[in-house]
Amino acid sequence: MLVGLTNVAGMMAILSAFAIGTTGLVSAIAAMNILIILLYSREFFKETFSRQEILGLIAALAGILILRLSQ
């Protein structure tokens, strides 16, 4: 039930963000949900980040920063 409630809250937040923000930037940030999954797996399952995951996260964050600065 908690998962469903957080999903509803997340969808409401995304719809609000689309209403007031730039679609490309909101979409890029929404796609970063993998960051939350990786942080949870590191915290709860004590997994380590691979070099590929770290490089991917850096590239994604750099892309979001470039999108934000270009507007």
- pLDDT tens per residue, range 34-51: 888 888 888 889 888 899
* Largest Cα span, the chain: 40
pLDDT at 26: 86
Residue 55 scores a pLDDT above 90: yes
**Which structural domain, as residue segments, surrounds residue 48?**
2-69
| Cα separation of the two ends of the chain | 39
| Torsion angle in degrees (nearest 10) through CA of 53, 56, 60, 61 | 60
Structural domain total, the chain: 1
**pTM across the whole model:** 0.64
Residue type, 38: L
